[in-house]
Amino acid sequence: MTAQDAPPIVFVHGTRFSAGQWSAQVGALREEFPVAAVDLPGHGARSDRPWSLDAATEVIASAVDALGAGPALVVGHSLGGYAALEFAGRHPERLRGLVLAGASASTRGPWTAPYRWIAGLVPRLPADRLTRWNDRLLRRLYPPEVVGETIRNGYAFHTLPAAWNEVLGRFDAETLRQVAAPVLILNGEKDTVFRSGEADFARAHPHARVELVPRAGHLANFDAPEAFTSAVRRFARELPRAV
């Protein structure tokens, strides 16, 4: 692949996190690809902006345009995966490929009830307590070079109810039929919840494939950063040239 052929890559973070979630991937890929990671509305540097899928898709579109290298590979994790899926349907001309990481479960149906309960519970808990819990958890599980930037950027607990309430009830495998570009469904092997619709999502798209990150859970890019990055790199190299 020549530098001219290399697709730009835009990373979209998951619930409560920020662009810092992708520090390991951005650092590993930026010499080969034009790459950026975004803060979604209500998160990171955009923490004071209200959440909406409309605004989220425009943030992604702006990041693609800012890289100035044509249609992009968009990599979205969890909440960011569903935002990337929404972006794919609204801006097909800006999309060269799509990676859905931890975002291949339908957000419809009765199984989502616990998530609605959590969305209602989070605003009742002190943000400083939630921050301490998250900091301790990340520091215990992962090395600082993987999660340090996430911890420094803080968490968007205040945005979780609005984000989840808009996403829940909106997406399922049928949504993937609107995507024209190739799709990689990239899940942690142990992410049983968000792998629940994996086969249905893959069947819904003629150019989709599933790849699992061994021994990883929902936060696969934290659990196995090198394996996750390698999967994204391989997929990016395989994408057809932009027309």
- At residue 105, the pLDDT reads 95
Inform me whether the pLDDT recorded for 175 exceeds 80.
yes
Helical (H) or strand (E) element with 95: strand 95-101
At residue 1 the predicted structure's pLDDT band, cuts being 50, 70 and 90, is low
At residue 5 the predicted structure's pLDDT band, cuts being 50, 70 and 90, is confident
Q: What is the pLDDT of residues 197-208, one digit of tens each?
A: 999 999 999 999
Q: What is the mean pLDDT of the segment spanning 114-127?
A: 90
Q: State the DSSP code for 34.
A: -
User: Which position has the higher pLDDT, 117 or 60?
Assistant: 60
CA distance 177 to 52: 23
pTM for the whole thing? 0.96
Q: What is the mean pLDDT of the segment spanning 163-167?
A: 95
Average pLDDT, the chain: 95
Which residue type, as a one-letter code, is found at position 158? H
Strands 35-38 and 183-188: unpaired
- At residue 19, the pLDDT reads 98
At residue 3 the predicted structure's pLDDT band, cuts being 50, 70 and 90, is low
CA distance 207 to 228: 20
Q: What is the pLDDT of residues 31-46, one digit of tens each?
A: 999 999 999 999 999 9
Inform me whether the pLDDT recorded for 243 exceeds 80.
no
Inform me whether the pLDDT recorded for 242 exceeds 80.
no
CA distance 101 to 167: 16
Inform me whether the pLDDT recorded for 116 exceeds 80.
yes
Helices (H), the chain: 23-29, 53-67, 79-90, 113-121, 127-141, 144-153, 160-167, 198-203, 220-223, 225-238
Strands 208-213 and 9-12: unpaired
Inform me whether the pLDDT recorded for 144 exceeds 80.
yes
Tokens of 151: 């911890």
Q: What is the mean pLDDT of the segment spanning 84-109?
A: 96
Which of 202, 225, 201 is CA-nearest to residue 215? 225
Which residue type, as a one-letter code, is found at position 61? A
- At residue 109, the pLDDT reads 86
